[in-house]
Structure 1
Amino acid sequence: MSGDGSSDSLLDLEFAYTSHQDSCRDLYSPFYYCRRPLGHDGVHAAGFGSGRLRWRHDPNHPPHMLS
């Protein structure tokens, strides 16, 4: 386990206990936004099982946040 919350079991727990209001919501696409808690360390993540996506935010690209 890397400690940055990127393992599947840790992400499942984070998603289950993080409300939409308290989630990061950095956009991967219009259909996928980060479901990790605000202020998380490590990668952004969305989705479950084989459909789970992980991404790092490009520091040269301004964040896109859902309101």
Structure 2
Amino acid sequence: MTSDNRLDLEFAYTSHDDSCKDLYSPYYYCRRPRGHDGVHAAGFGSSRLRWDHRADHPPRMLS
């Protein structure tokens, strides 16, 4: 599992254009860098979500 500290750094240094954008919901998409290993993640603190890729949500649905 990816630590919260590592995710904070990834989010801080990954531009919107370079982020994964795997869709969790209309309001949450993966903020990790494109091509990352492991789970997708979005949000901060107690609102942070982590999820595995879902087959019904193709990557890069948001552009």
TM-score by length of 1: 0.85
Q: Which has the higher contact order (CA 8 A, sep 6+)?
A: 2
Q: Give distance in 2, aligned partners of 1:7 and 1:41.
A: 13
Q: What is aligned with 2:56? A: 61
Which consecutive segments of 4 or more residues in structure 1 shift more than 3 A? none
Q: CA 1:48–1:62 in structure 2 vs 1: closer, same or farther (change >3 Å)? A: closer
Unpaired runs of 5+ residues, structure 2, are none
Q: C-alpha distance in 2, partners of 1:62/1:50?
A: 24
Q: Give the drift of 1:62.
A: 4.7
Q: Structure 1: where are the runs of 5+ without partners?
A: none
State the number of aligned residues. Answer: 62
User: Following superposition of structure 1 onto structure 2, how do residues 32-43 of structure 1 map, counting pairs within 5 Å?
Assistant: 32-43=28-39
Distance 2:22 2:47 in 1: 17
SS of equivalent residue, structure 1 residue 15: helix
Q: Decide which structure has the larger Cα Rg and report it.
A: 1
CA RMSD between the two structures:
1.3
Among 25, 28, 31, the alignment partner of 2:21 is: 25
Change (3 A) 1:51 1:62: closer
Distance in 1 separating the partners of 2:57 and 2:7: 24
Q: SS state of the match for residue 66, structure 1? A: coil
Percent identity among equivalent residues? 76
